[in-house]
Structure 1
Amino acid sequence: MRTSQTFSISFFIRKKKKQPELALLYARVTVNSKSLEISLKRTLPVNRWNQSAGKILGNSAESYQINKKLDETKALLYKAYDSLLKEDQVITAHLIKDRFLGTDQQHYTLLYLLSYHDQKMSDVLKYGTMENYRTTENYLKEYLKKQHRTSDIYLKQIDYQFTIGFESYLRSLSSLQNNGVMKHMERFKKLMRLAEHLDWIEKNPTVRFKLRFEQVDMVYLSKPELEKIKSAEFEKDVLRINRNIFVFACYTGLAYADVKALNKNHLQFGIDGKKWIYTRRSKTNTAVRIPLLEEAEEILNCYKDHPKIDGTEKLLPVYSNQKTNQYLKEIADEVKIRKKLSFHTARHTFATTVTLANGVPIETVSKLLGHHKISTTQIYARVIDSKISSDIDNLRAKLND
């Protein structure tokens, strides 16, 4: 139980030795009869000081400013006292003075925040996500060095001007387009939100900054293009392997990391007695259950004894992401498809050409893709002209009837 205590604030002056007509202004903080003085760094005429009132006399601008300073100081000292009470601190005059001056609090820097995030989140976030954060961190360090001529900055010094300055710096880099800039700004906002949650800053300077992503054309294969890739003959074995794994993803909707991670334990019999893939999305850790279509199952059967995965639990001989995308570009060139193919094109193709265009309800597609919100899946629905045409034909038929 807290013992009762006394707390008071008073103001007084102390004459200057060499100029006795002038005096320095002080505040006195007293807790349980123990006092401490705080210099307010103001000089005033001795003959205008009223000690009993604790203020300077007169209506001049100088008198107004000094009395305003006294009122503000008293308010801040009471605020320091109240905050220490809430923290259940053992209050002393020294502690109130330190809180008033801000010397009792550690001031964290941007580099300390970056180091803290790197240390605490490396086991929480995915490897690729952490690499993206480290790229953002490097840009922040370059920005500090080139635009602010310093290697570090206190978090409390970061304001909205710093935020929009960082955006301008990113936009000056030829290697970044708008959405790339916005991704780095998004990560910077998350870093500053972390600092706010840790109470390292009182106010988040990035709150007012609005992210402005531009809509990017989604690359997916039409039905003829998918059939063209499926039926193509390749001399190189490595192209055949990567084509088949890509087609497997077109019929399962799995992202690269999830296909690479597939093992025999992920194959199970579903509610219909047929084979399903039970796994979790690497990106979001969301559970997904995907009925295995015939096209996908045939590809799995082709590689169950492949030397690259023989003796392991793996289902497919997946190459590195970089190599896979490199081979996919070569495949696109050989079959003369003028689209920038990447492994993620397969996921888009599954959502559009394989499922939505064939009448699979969007709610089902959303579940198969492991989306948390159906609005994410609706992006795919907007790009399928053939589905729109089919739906309108059905509408015409009903109206004619």
Structure 2
Amino acid sequence: MKISLSKRTLKDGRISLSIEYYRGSEINKEGKRRHLKSFENLETYLFSNPKTPAEKKQNKEGLEFAENILSIRKAEYVQGKFDLKNTTKAKSTFLNYFAEKTKEKQEQDSSNNYGNWFSTLQHLKKIIPKNTIFDEVDEDFIKKVRHYFDNVARTKSDLPLSQNSKYSYFNKFKAALRSAFDEGYLSINYSSKIKSFEQAESQREYLTFDELQSLAKAECKYDVLKRAFLFSCLSGLRWSDINTLVWNEVRDEGEISKINYRQEKTEGVEYLYISAQARELLGERQDQTDRVFRGLKYGMTYNTEIIRWCNRAGVPKHITFHSARHTNAVLLLENGADIYTVSKRLGHREIRTTAIYAKIVDKKMKEAAEMIPTLQINL
């Protein structure tokens, strides 16, 4: 097979570069010779008549890039690695791979998780050339991406990324590298070779029992949303696990009910006992494979309704669906549950994750606030 650089003039006058793979020729049924060719578009273009120094420089760099790819392809063929029908994984582009992983998250409908993957992809497109293949991924490449998130990346409001955004986006990038290693796109697990960002402690919005009671009495436009949110408050289940919950995961054992499920976020198998009231929110049992909260979906419509529902209930807080999970943790701790039990119920891998909630309900700190005698103040 002959591998060469092909140039094609476009209508706008530019020259498009691609790799041509020529596998000889054959005689068809009509007795005509047909040449067997395939092309790999490099998405690299040259000026047909460069005039300025910038255009000449672009032509030089584009041609060097194309010739480098040509050399790589020839070496692959000699080594027996080249497959016309299946480009080797190492030659897959990183951004296409990350986009596929992002699409997988969207299909799993994991709300915030998909949103973070999508945002990460938009940032990576700004720092990683679209033709970058896995063979070009090394420690310097990863350090360059880390530096971008730490010092260059901006929000839509043109502000530097928050510490937690850096933490989240870079971890998605590392997750893709780890997955690529597991699937054979990379021969080295680079995700373990570079330090991630520290996660900043964030404020966790939650509902007090009285506020939760007000919500339970207030009108919500969507019954399935109200039941799912209150169920999360009583059980601690994440949105993603509630959204995918099916009836064969709900076990009714006499007067006791529990949920046997696999956490979408951690993929760990969990066995969660739920209260009688939480079980009532699930409704009557349906077919084993039916979703429990049929019709529940993630989107602006339901997110907005949560805010309106809170307004009707007189709850002056910015509450999201995930706030229900925070509410469950706080209410359990306030009512005497030990931190280990709460950690197990929430499916946390590390107790320090749960310890954040313990700070919220620190009774000694609350008592200390009232220790100083009342002052007689004249203003």
Q: TM-score, normalised by structure 1?
A: 0.56
Shift of 1:358: 0.7
Map 1:269-348; keep pairs closer than 5 Å: 269-270=252-253, 274-301=256-283, 304=284, 313-322=290-299, 323-348=301-326
Q: Answer whether contact 1:109 1:155 (CA < 8 A) is retained.
A: no
Quote the offset at 1:229 in angstroms. Answer: 1.2
CA distance in 2, matches of 1:300, 1:347: 17
2-side partners of 1:142 and 1:226: how far apart?
43
Task: Give the corresponding residue for 2:94.
Answer: 113
Matched letter for residue 374 of structure 1: I
1:179 aligned partner: 164
Residue in 2 aligned with 1:362?
339
Instruction: Please give the alpha-carbon distance, in whole angstroms, between the structure 1 residues aligned to 2:142 and 2:104.
Output: 30
| Range moving further from structure 2, 290-299 or 329-338 | 290-299
Q: CA deviation at 1:333?
A: 1.3
Q: Any idea what SS the aligned residue of 1:379 has?
A: helix
| Long gaps (5+) in structure 1 | 1-97, 394-401
Equivalent AA in structure 2 for residue 253 of structure 1: G
Judged with a 3 Å threshold, the aligned counterparts in structure 2 of structure 1 residues 264 and 212 are, in CA distance, closer, same or farther, namely closer
SS at match of 1:343: coil
CA contact (8 A) 1:324 1:343 kept: no
Partner of 1:77: none
Is the CA contact 2:333–2:358 (under 8 Å) kept in the aligned structure 1?
A: yes
Q: Structure 1 residue 212 and structure 2 residue 198: aligned?
A: yes
Number of residues paired by the alignment?
279
More divergent stretch after superposition (105-114 vs 132-141)? 105-114
Which of 258-267 and 168-177 deviates more?
Answer: 168-177
The structure-2 alpha-carbon separation of the partners of 1:180 and 1:111, relative to structure 1 and needing over 3 Å to count, comes to farther
- How far apart, CA to CA, are the structure 2 residues paired with 1:246 and 1:110? 45
One-letter code of the match for 2:209? K
**Conserved 8 A contact 2:204-2:326:** yes
State the match for 1:169 in structure 2. Answer: 152
Pair 1:155-2:137 in alignment:
yes
Distance 1:279 1:367 in 2: 14
1:227-242 matches, within 5 Å, as 227-232=213-218, 234=219, 238-242=221-225
Q: Distance between the aligned counterparts of 2:104 and 2:239, measured in 1?
A: 21
Cα 1:209/1:276, change in 2 over 3 Å: closer
Structure 2 portions without partners, runs of 5+: 1-74, 83-87, 371-379
Contact 1:288 1:369 in 2 (8 A): no
What residue is the counterpart of 1:137 in the other structure?
121
Which of the numbers 364, 379, 383 marks the counterpart of 2:360? Answer: 383
After TM superposition, list the pairs within 5 Å mapping 1:262-273 onto structure 2: 262-270=245-253
> Partners in 2 of 1:228 and 1:155 — Cα distance?
54
Larger Cα-atom Rg: 1
Question: CA–CA distance in 1 between the matches of 2:89 and 2:273?
Answer: 51
Query: Measured at CA, do residues 245 and 203 of structure 1 come closer, stay the same or move farther in structure 2, by a change above 3 Å?
Result: closer
